[in-house]
């Protein structure tokens, strides 16, 4: 018993004494608890200040000693321990999606998941679970750029108490109303940035391939560990980004900052070609950016304008469109490609006309209307399929591309519609069917309207150039579309096309324009895909796994195309074998897959998949309380539990 009570010397470095000060030596016993050590330390330093945010960090074990009732013995601390006494909240430089940098005090001791919640409270972003932190990608630096010090917006003076319970004033957290400088920071957060200069776009990293796109996802921080444990130091730079692209309950009344930063992230994804879109879509994105930047100069704050754009999802839910009976059958004559596996190889075959029937979530086709009473040539269930548009309005091409899950991969089928009215109906029906909803679903009509209005925006309107800007030179096409279009077209070719698309959006309010931009972004076939390079068990080559809000896709780099899709709603269990760093997933129907990760740590991939499954558990009733324990359970593997 004697040796437990024996006193021994413990030395602790106190950050507040300065970098050159020697450690403070305390005489302790193994029975002393951590709180007692802190008490002795504070008495010995004789500094009068508020120590409530301070805690001990154990250098060798890379852990905070936050359980102040635990004894040194319980923690396993001996005389050789290197301990640091320092604040848990330290300044961090935060790169925002709009390219600006905030300096704020972030928590270095709690899991990153909680740190992000604190940051989002400070800058007024709801649903912080959709965001996370990642290590930044270095910009291409030129020699002469050295003197350009970046402008930093400083929030380090905001008291931590006002962050834990922010009170709102005129819709913004009260601490932003304190000084003109603070108001200026809130303006930076809540107003869209002016169009970026072409040289700023050129300086950014642009991924050239799906493998390039995969590298960024190796940079996400681990949500279950704190910043200190991940080597992030005081004043280091990290990026804040939307990570899980399923945006819950967006409401322009409360989500000004959230919407603004989301728009900025979407805009840069399009300008830097992080996500692919068609040429017509790019012109429309350009027109919307032009409009948004124009309107935000005159109408600086986003206002909760028309009810029409209250989050697409909630609009779809509230529209009660009653259909006659479940078996609502659309009888439309469709030209359809012969249904075959990957007809891309058989492009010479052209399209054959069939009589189509849509029933529940399946389509059946027949040689003619007369034969549609009997057995179909084939019936295809669209539940769980991928639906992608292939549309060129000026060429009157209205194709719907369906990727249908099959045991050996994906079957590819194209449906060709005769006009946009027919296309809107069929596209809406296919989208609903892929989610397992039938045409009797209340959202069918609103989905048709949404598709039709999107088509209308891409139309060129001859003779309506009366209300274009007087001097066509005022539009800098280099700031509106991605660099590949400047190689392909001259500015004077791009200007009329962007202004043409601008005709269709010029009447939108700022909020409506931002919401419309986000809706079109969300409707892109590759939206929400985060890529990682993996190696499937039994395979000898690297492949790409795409992680989306509702599914996983497997991309064969040789073919450059999706070869398989797995949906989360068919997932039974998933786990990581940490010894061989391999992830295994089991789906219904005895489907098992296993892969090791090449460009990102297993934990990152596990967290992405578990995180999306967590996002699917959110419901309106519980929307105020965030079930953090469930998040860690779903994302942690057995490590974090």
Least confident of 81-85, 240-244, 454-458, 618-622: 618-622
What CATH class does 91-139+149-276 carry?
alpha beta
Rounded to an integer, the average pLDDT of 435-439 is 84
pLDDT in tens, 470-496: 444 468 888 899 888 888 888 888 998
**Closest Cα to residue 485, out of 279, 267, 197, 285?**
279
Strand partners, 8: 28
**Closest Cα to residue 402, out of 429, 372, 437?**
429
Rounded to an integer, the average pLDDT of 530-558 is 92
Which of 154-168, 173-187, 507-521, 576-590: highest mean pLDDT? 507-521
CATH 3.10.20.90 residue ranges in the chain? 8-87, 91-139+149-276
Q: pLDDT grade, residue 333 (50/70/90)?
A: very low
Whether the predicted pLDDT of 503 surpasses 60: yes
pLDDT in tens, 149-187: 678 899 998 887 766 666 777 677 888 888 888 888 998
Rounded to an integer, the average pLDDT of 92-103 is 94
- Phi then psi for residue 110, to 5 deg, are -100, 165
Which helix (H) or strand (E) covers residue 312, if one does?
A: helix 312-318
Q: pLDDT grade, residue 412 (50/70/90)?
A: confident
Rounded to an integer, the average pLDDT of 382-387 is 83
Rounded to an integer, the average pLDDT of 319-346 is 35
What contacts 579, CB < 8 A, 6 or more positions away? none
Which helix (H) or strand (E) covers residue 257, if one does?
A: helix 256-271
Distances (CA, A) of 276 to 61, 342, 548, 593: 45, 21, 15, 28
Q: Do the bridges between strand 168-169 and strand 331-337 make them parallel or antiparallel, or are there none, so unpaired? A: unpaired
Q: Report d(CA 399, CA 392) in Å as an integer.
A: 9
Which helix (H) or strand (E) covers residue 635, if one does?
A: helix 628-635
Q: pLDDT grade, residue 41 (50/70/90)?
A: very high
Rounded to an integer, the average pLDDT of 371-397 is 82
Buried b (16+ CB within 10 A) or exposed e, 146-173: eeeeeeebebeebeeeebeebeeeeebb
Give the model's pLDDT for residue 454: 79
Q: Do the bridges between strand 152-154 and strand 101-107 make them parallel or antiparallel, or are there none, so unpaired? A: parallel
329 or 594: whose pLDDT is higher?
594
* Residue 473: Cβ within 10 Å count: 10
pLDDT in tens, 111-146: 999 999 999 999 999 999 999 999 998 766 555 555
Average pLDDT of the residues of the chain: 82
| Structure tokens that stand for 54 in this block | 């301070």
Whether the predicted pLDDT of 309 surpasses 80: no
3-state secondary structure of 58: strand
**Closest Cα to residue 391, out of 364, 343, 423, 434?**
423
- Geometric angle at alpha carbon 109, from 28 and 104, rounded to 5°: 130
Whether the predicted pLDDT of 27 surpasses 70: yes
**Closest Cα to residue 545, out of 537, 558, 554, 535?**
554
528 or 343: whose pLDDT is higher?
528
Give the model's pLDDT for residue 371: 82
Q: Report d(CA 277, CA 392) in Å as an integer.
A: 12
What contacts 210, CB < 8 A, 6 or more positions away? 531, 544, 555, 557, 560
- 443 and 249 in contact (C-beta within 8 Å)? no
Global pTM reads 0.79
For the domain made up of 530-636, give the CATH fold.
PH-domain like (2.30.29)
Q: Choose which CATH entry (2.130.10.10, 3.40.1000.10, 2.30.29.30, 1.10.760.10) describes domain 334-439.
A: 2.30.29.30
Q: Return the percentage of the chain with pLDDT > 90, whole number.
A: 39
- Phi then psi for residue 442, to 5 deg, are -65, -20
Instruction: Report the largest interatomic distance among the alpha carbons of the chain, rounded to a whole angstrom.
Output: 99
Q: Report d(CA 475, CA 321) in Å as an integer.
A: 42
Whether the predicted pLDDT of 93 surpasses 90: yes
235 or 296: whose pLDDT is higher?
235
Q: Report d(CA 556, CA 409) in Å as an integer.
A: 11
Whether the predicted pLDDT of 334 surpasses 50: no
Whether the predicted pLDDT of 535 surpasses 70: yes
What contacts 185, CB < 8 A, 6 or more positions away? 102, 153, 154, 155, 176
Whether domain 8-87 has CATH 3.40.50.2300:
no
- 545 and 217 in contact (C-beta within 8 Å)? no
Least confident of 73-87, 168-182, 211-225, 496-510: 168-182
- 499 and 471 in contact (C-beta within 8 Å)? no
Buried b (16+ CB within 10 A) or exposed e, 366-375: beeeeebeee
- 198 and 479 in contact (C-beta within 8 Å)? yes
Q: To the nearest 10°, the Cα dihedral for 410, 411, 414, 420?
A: -50
3-state secondary structure of 175: helix
Strand partners, 415: 336, 400
Which of 96-105, 364-373, 629-638: highest mean pLDDT? 96-105
Q: Report d(CA 432, CA 415) in Å as an integer.
A: 16
Q: pLDDT grade, residue 317 (50/70/90)?
A: very low
Q: How far apart are the first and last CA of the chain?
A: 35
What contacts 2, CB < 8 A, 6 or more positions away? none
Whether the predicted pLDDT of 88 surpasses 50: yes
If you write DSSP's letter for every residue of 393-449 in order, what string do you get? TTTTEEEEEEEEEETTEEEEEEEE-SSHHHHHHHHHHHHHHHTT--TTSTTHHHHHH
Whether the predicted pLDDT of 320 surpasses 90: no
Q: Report d(CA 480, CA 471) in Å as an integer.
A: 17
177 or 583: whose pLDDT is higher?
583
* Residue 460: Cβ within 10 Å count: 16
Give the model's pLDDT for residue 228: 96
CATH 2.30.29.30 residue ranges in the chain? 334-439, 530-636
| Structure tokens that stand for 594 in this block | 């296993």
């Amino acid at each position: 018993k004697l040796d437990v009570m024996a006193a021994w010397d413990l030395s602790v470095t106190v950050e507040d004494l300065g970098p050159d000060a020697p450690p403070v030596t305390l005489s302790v016993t193994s029975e002393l608890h951590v709180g007692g050590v802190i008490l002795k330390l504070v008495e010995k330093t004789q500094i009068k200040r508020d120590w409530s945010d301070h805690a001990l960090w154990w250098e060798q074990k890379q852990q905070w000693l936050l359980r102040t009732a635990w004894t040194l013995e319980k923690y396993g601390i001996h005389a050789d321990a290197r301990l640091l006494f320092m604040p848990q909240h330290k300044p961090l430089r935060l790169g925002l999606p709009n390219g600006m940098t905030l300096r704020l005090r972030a928590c270095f001791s709690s899991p990153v998941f909680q740190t992000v919640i604190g940051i989002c409270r400070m800058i007024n972003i709801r649903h912080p679970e959709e965001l996370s932190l990642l290590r930044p990608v270095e910009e291409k630096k030129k020699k002469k750029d050295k003197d350009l010090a970046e402008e930093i917006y400083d929030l380090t003076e905001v008291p931590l108490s006002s962050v834990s319970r922010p009170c709102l004033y005129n819709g913004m957290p009260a601490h932003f109303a304190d000084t003109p400088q603070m108001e200026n920071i809130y303006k930076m957060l809540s107003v869209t940035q002016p169009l970026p200069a072409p040289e700023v776009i050129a300086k950014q990293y642009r991924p050239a391939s799906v493998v390039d796109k995969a590298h960024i996802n190796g940079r996400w921080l681990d949500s279950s560990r704190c910043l200190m444990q991940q080597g992030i130091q005081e004043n280091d730079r990290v990026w804040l980004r939307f990570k899980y692209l399923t945006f819950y309950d967006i409401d322009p009344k409360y989500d000004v900052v959230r919407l603004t930063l989301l728009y900025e992230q979407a805009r840069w994804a399009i300008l830097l070609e992080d996500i692919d879109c068609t040429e017509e879509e790019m012109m429309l994105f350009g027109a919307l950016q032009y409009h948004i930047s124009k309107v935000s100069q005159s109408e600086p704050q986003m206002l909760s304008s028309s009810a029409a754009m209250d989050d697409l999802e909630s609009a779809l839910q509230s529209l009660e469109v009653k259909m006659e009976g479940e078996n609502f059958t659309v009888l439309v004559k469709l030209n359809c490609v012969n249904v075959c596996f990957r007809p891309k190889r058989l492009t010479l075959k052209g399209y054959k006309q069939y009589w189509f029937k849509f029933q529940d979530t399946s389509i059946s086709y027949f040689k003619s209307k007369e034969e549609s009473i009997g057995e179909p040539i084939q019936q295809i269930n669209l539940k769980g399929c991928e639906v992608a548009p292939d549309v060129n309005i000026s060429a009157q091409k209205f194709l719907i591309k369906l990727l249908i899950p099959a045991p050996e991969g994906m079957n590819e089928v194209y449906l060709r519609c005769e006009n946009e009215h027919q296309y809107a109906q069929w596209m809406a029906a296919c989208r609903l069917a892929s989610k397992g909803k039938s045409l009797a679903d209340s959202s069918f009509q609103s989905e048709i309207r949404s598709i039709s209005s999107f088509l209308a925006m891409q139309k060129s309107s001859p003779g309506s150039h009366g209300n274009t800007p007087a001097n066509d030179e005022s539009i800098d096409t280099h700031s509106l579309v991605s660099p590949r279009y400047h190689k392909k077209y001259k500015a004077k070719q791009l200007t009329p096309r962007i202004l043409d698309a601008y005709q269709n959006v010029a009447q939108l309010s700022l909020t409506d324009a931002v919401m419309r931009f986000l809706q079109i972004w969300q409707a892109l076939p590759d939206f929400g895909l985060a890529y990682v390079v993996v190696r499937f068990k039994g395979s000898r080559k690297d492949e790409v796994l795409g992680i989306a809000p509702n599914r996983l896709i497997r991309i064969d780099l040789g073919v450059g195309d999706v070869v398989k899709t797995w949906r989360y709603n068919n997932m039974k269990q998933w786990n990581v074998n940490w010894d061989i760093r391999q992830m295994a997933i089991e789906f219904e129907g005895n489907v098992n897959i296993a892969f090791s990760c090449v460009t990102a740590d297993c934990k990152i991939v596990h967290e992405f998949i578990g995180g999306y499954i967590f996002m699917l558990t959110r419901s309106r009733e519980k929307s105020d309380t965030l079930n953090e324990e469930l998040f860690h359970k779903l994302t942690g593997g057995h490590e974090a539990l």
